[in-house]
Structure 1
Amino acid sequence: MKFRVLFLLFFVVIHAKVFSQSGAKQILTAAEKSYFESTSTYRDVLNFINELKKISPFVRVETIAKTIEGRNVPLLVIGNPLPKSSVKLKTDKRIILYIQGNIHAGEVEGKEASLMLARDILIDKKEILNDVVLLICPIFNPDGNEKISTQNRTHQNGPVNGVGLRYNGQNLDLNRDAMKVETPEVKGLLESVLNKYDPAILVDIHTTNGSYREEPVSFTWMMNPAGDTSLISFMRDEMMPQVSKTLKEKYYTQNVFYGEFVDQRDPSRGWISYAYEPRYITNYIGLRNRLAILNENYVYSDFKTRVIGSYNLLQSIIDYTIKNKTVIKELLQKVDEQTIARGMNPTEKDSLAIESQVRFTNTPITINTFELENKKEENGRERLIKTDIKKIVSVPYLADYTPTRKVKIPFAYLLTVNDPKITSTLKTHGIKLETLSAPAEFEVETFKITELKPEPRLNQGHYNNDVKGEFITEKKKFDKGTIVIRTAQPFANVAMFLLEPETDDGLLYWNYFDNYLVPQWGNGYLPYPVYKILKKTGIETEKF
């Protein structure tokens, strides 16, 4: 009798477990349910997340931000155990990886792939959580997503039932907002993800038009040399080649580093990556001394292939991250320590790149492409048409940005205008502000403007400033309460790029200082109200 009871109990437990896993595997994204003819709506995403919460204790949902149209941007925190607080993660043996989908809501692979990945890890691949804490935002741009239409991105090969819009509810591009931070989504990313959890790696998922090729998946690393270039070298020479190899050999997915032909007619001129400005989130992450991967899936591959390709890339990144988590964590800690030490006593050789030019990497790139032919249209214009004739080319890769102009790294900046828009933006970036506790005199570099012109065309709601001028050295008295920004802090590169007057993504460029650059009456310009103390100096400060 005892044996029979134990047998029945065993049968019930096993049956319940099988039934539970079987039922869990029926949790499908809208893309999977529709055989990849549709993408998920905002409600679909929330419903899917709620189903994940029912099947696993290893996921919780936080809110990154509330959009202009009133939608919460969800963040999945996945871990075993779940981190009780972000503070305790600083000493955790696990590594933190942040995955972001749908920043451009017409580019929807990341939304579907990241949800599928979360489900599969929680059901079948829980061992991953021994080494990784996953942060996943599947739908970073909910407002754009809810404008799904078959008239959006009509050149895109699916989903046939339409996709959302590129822009958010403010008609702004979220992937141009990393520095100026004028959207609730990006503000939330900085405050509720980057500053709070400090992920070692960010993956930002997109769809690219690009040049004709066979590879459905492309990806690359952060580009801006104003960040620590040892991180760029690590990504370019170590991590990305290994991820590419795993993606091809383990997950059977053709891939290529992101870019397009400089000239489709003449591939030998090279394959060029994306721009270097830190307004792009992946480049911004580099300025924060962290690793970032831009995933661009090929628009002319069918929707299912793009989603599965992105999913496989995420698996490849996780594989590499687990295997090399100690190396990555030690590298990032070393770079943070070096950044702080540099700011404590800057030398003549310490400099910040403010202008850069792209050059070839040391390794050429191989692309599976097609022969093209000219076709004359009815209006008489000629355009290139892809043929079915395949060809493989090996060409130089333009993805190594080299500084063409640098400025000295100061010991500290002095900000003489306490403008809440400026100070709140700096604080949102995680930059530490202090104030002078008493009046003081310092030798400073002052930027004297000689020419200031707005760009002729609006860019993200701004007529960006084009400024020219020169630095002069002078002794100057500063009032108590003057804001002090030291460069001996982890996000010094971000602070410097924002405060230097001549960068192409700083606060002056984005019009934050416009009220303070010209006199109310008369001609000429006022001194730029950010002064630089170059050498190590005793500064008596108090909290901002």
Structure 2
Amino acid sequence: MALSPTPPAPAPEWRTPFEAGGGNTTATYAECVAYYQKLTAAYPKQLHMAEAGPTDSGQPLQEVVLSSDGDADPTSTRQKNRRVLFIQNGIHPGEPEGIDASMMLARDLVQQPKLRKLLDGVTIVLVPVYNVDGMLNRNSTTRVNQNGPAAYGFRGNARHLDLNRDYIKQDSRNARSFAALFQKWQPDIFVETHTSNGADYQYTMTLIATQHSKLAPALGAYLQGQLLPALYRGMEKKKWPMTPYVDFEGQTPESGLRAFLETPRYSTGYAALFNTIGFMPETHMLKAFAPRVHSTYDFLQTMLETVGQQSAALAAARAAASTALAAQTTFPLAWALDESQHETVQFRGYEGKTKPSEVSGQPRLYYDRAAPYTRPVKHFNTYKATTTARRPNAYLIPQAWGEVADILRRNGATLVPLKQDVTVPVEVYYLEDYKTSPRAYEGHYLHTQVKVRPVTETVAYHKGDLLVYLNDKAPIRYLVETLEPQATDSFFAWGFFDSVLQQKEHFSDYVFEDLAADLLRRDPQLRERLEKLKKQDAAFAGNGAAQLEWVYLNSPHHEAGFNRYPVARWLGEGTLPAK
């Protein structure tokens, strides 16, 4: 793959470890931080560097801000009508192209007058390395499928967490520091650099963009109609043709590319909750490291150029999205791929063939690089909502759930404590059914396929319990997708409320038998429901213990808190008495 025109060579003292190492070397953490410190000291009028909070490694997360005048304040940046481009590298430090490309780009932006002009209308917020922990865990073996560099970092962080699954639960200090930085800047565009796994094909660069179906209509239309076409054109002009991320269900990509659904556990899915368009450029693992770094450099430059050129359109689309969000009443919580719709892309691949495996002797897949092709391939790029919820006026959260309250505050929510005890009618959910993963996933046992039964009840709340209003100043989508238990990445899905799923009181069979019989005599409707169930389910009809349990669960003796989701929906108008 031909590289784009070579920029002026940097002076020897400004060469990065990648440049000085012959193209198969990535910077160590110490080298990366020292390089930005040196660059900031030399160019203080364009660069600002600061610690942005702790990480699980014990080392701080670094924030580097590049602007035309050294302005590193979000408020004044907005007042100057500048767009904010947030670039984050090294979430998986074994995929280090963005680390090295950003070092080079930051240097060139301040040293080359032609490139420096790109900062006139755009401020870059740069996280040089997000997973500091993984970058310190350097090795040469764990990226077994990857063609270089010679040594690199590890995917997991110091707690063995994949940080690109941690944006909602925020178990890591890294994620908590990121959330504070993201909320501080509230960027227009978010880019997180990666390397892909999977099939072999001709492209060096592939791209995951925020799923347009999940964005507000104005923002989705802008992404599809203006931003993405400009990025693809810009990369083609720089001799890096791109394709959508190569994900498919068949044997080879010809079966059709399937757009990646980045739910809020992922960086771009999290960003979308705040009307920020997100991108994951994914270089191809089988290409040599040097072209992967250069294509990432050119992608970041192309993004900077495009954001500057489309500044007004981007601002208008985000403003329209905010207006629409303030008026929106129904919100999607889960999605499924719509296979009735597709686009067509001219895909540049290699023929997939089989040959006997030298390990097993069985047929194995390989891609024949002597047989390249370009042919039309379906791209399924539309998702439809499968679960929705109506927006309440506010959520009520008992103060006992302090961990959830802390996460909400960290992500821009305002929680207002009640100033006195109140008893109010609210809508509560009873958790009727859910499936739980049999194995741990990122430190949690995920709940899926959640079914709830909404009930209006009058509930007593105490002074200090928490209200969060869904007004036009609130992060509405974030609140809905974390606090509605049916949502894919809700706090319930991640196990934050698991204690309500266990009964705390029960009964002795021989004692409750007489009480249950008395309940059925005094409540004919309860008896009728029981008999109906026995007629419908032969196994239930033959199981005396199950029938006794059913009577208990439908009696006043059953504890109210069992399987009752603790966060209530307040549908009333106005406000409740709060501090």
- TM-score w.r.t. the length of structure 1 is 0.89
Matched, 1:482 2:465: yes
Matched, 1:142 2:111: no
What code does the residue aligned with 2:279 have? I
Q: Return closer, same or farther for 1:22/1:391 CA change in 2, 3 Å cut-off.
A: closer
Q: Return the alpha-carbon distance in structure 2 between the equivalents of residues 369 and 180 of structure 1.
A: 38
Which segment is superposed worse, 414-423 or 333-342?
333-342
Query: What is the aligned counterpart of 2:356 among 376, 393, 399?
Result: 376
- Deviation (angstroms), 1:327: 1.5
What's 2:170 paired with? 181
Q: Return the alpha-carbon distance in structure 2 between the equivalents of residues 302 and 84 of structure 1.
A: 36
Q: Is the 8 A contact 1:216 1:297 kept in 2?
A: yes
What's 1:60 paired with? 48
Q: Is the 8 A contact 1:220 1:240 kept in 2?
A: no
Matched, 1:239 2:220: no
Q: Return the alpha-carbon distance in structure 2 between the equivalents of residues 79 and 370 of structure 1.
A: 43
CA RMSD of aligned residues (A): 2.1
Q: Is the 8 A contact 2:48 2:72 kept in 1?
A: no
What's 2:366 paired with? 385
Q: Return the alpha-carbon distance in structure 2 between the equivalents of residues 23 and 419 of structure 1.
A: 54
What code does the residue aligned with 1:29 have? T
What's 1:93 paired with? 81
Q: Return the alpha-carbon distance in structure 1 between the equivalents of residues 125 and 189 of structure 2.
A: 10
Query: What is the aligned counterpart of 2:502 among 498, 513, 518?
Result: 518
Q: Is the 8 A contact 2:262 2:268 kept in 1?
A: no
Question: What SS does structure 2 have at the residue aligned with 1:335?
Answer: helix
Superposed, 1:459-474 pairs within 5 Å as 459-466=441-448, 467-474=450-457
What code does the residue aligned with 1:413 have? Y
Q: Return the alpha-carbon distance in structure 2 between the equivalents of residues 528 and 174 of structure 1.
A: 28
Superposed, 1:310-389 pairs within 5 Å as 310-342=296-328, 350-359=329-338, 362-377=342-357, 378-387=359-368, 388-389=370-371
Q: Is the 8 A contact 1:147 1:165 kept in 2?
A: yes
Q: Return the alpha-carbon distance in structure 2 between the equivalents of residues 126 and 445 of structure 1.
A: 55
Q: Return closer, same or farther for 1:84/1:453 CA change in 2, 3 Å cut-off.
A: closer
Q: Return the alpha-carbon distance in structure 2 between the equivalents of residues 52 and 393 of structure 1.
A: 46
Q: Return the alpha-carbon distance in structure 2 between the equivalents of residues 270 and 486 of structure 1.
A: 43
Question: What SS does structure 1 have at the residue aligned with 2:578?
Answer: strand
What's 1:456 paired with? 438
What's 2:522 paired with? none
Matched, 1:308 2:345: no
Q: Return the alpha-carbon distance in structure 1 between the equivalents of residues 217 and 495 of structure 2.
A: 29
Query: What is the aligned counterpart of 2:488 among 504, 508, 514?
Result: 504
Q: Return the alpha-carbon distance in structure 2 between the equivalents of residues 300 and 486 of structure 1.
A: 49
Question: Which ranges in structure 1 are unaligned for 5 or more consecutive residues?
Answer: 1-20, 343-349
What's 1:252 paired with? 239
Q: Return the alpha-carbon distance in structure 2 between the equivalents of residues 238 and 59 of structure 1.
A: 30
Question: Which ranges in structure 2 are unaligned for 5 or more consecutive residues?
Answer: 1-7, 507-548, 554-561
- Deviation (angstroms), 1:233: 3.2
Aligned residues: 511
What code does the residue aligned with 2:216 have? D
- TM-score w.r.t. the length of structure 2 is 0.84
What's 1:103 paired with? 91
What's 1:223 paired with? 211
Higher radius of gyration, 1 or 2: 2
Which segment is superposed worse, 375-384 or 491-500?
375-384
- Deviation digits for residues 273-326 of structure 1 (CA, Å, limit 9, x no counterpart): 223321011011011111111111111111011111111111111111001111
% same residue? 24
Q: Return the alpha-carbon distance in structure 2 between the equivalents of residues 81 and 297 of structure 1.
A: 32
What code does the residue aligned with 2:497 have? F
Q: Return the alpha-carbon distance in structure 2 between the equivalents of residues 542 and 357 of structure 1.
A: 40
Query: What is the aligned counterpart of 1:122 among 82, 106, 110?
Result: 110
Q: Return closer, same or farther for 1:147/1:418 CA change in 2, 3 Å cut-off.
A: same
Superposed, 1:187-226 pairs within 5 Å as 187-191=176-180, 193-223=181-211, 225=213
Q: Return closer, same or farther for 1:218/1:23 CA change in 2, 3 Å cut-off.
A: closer
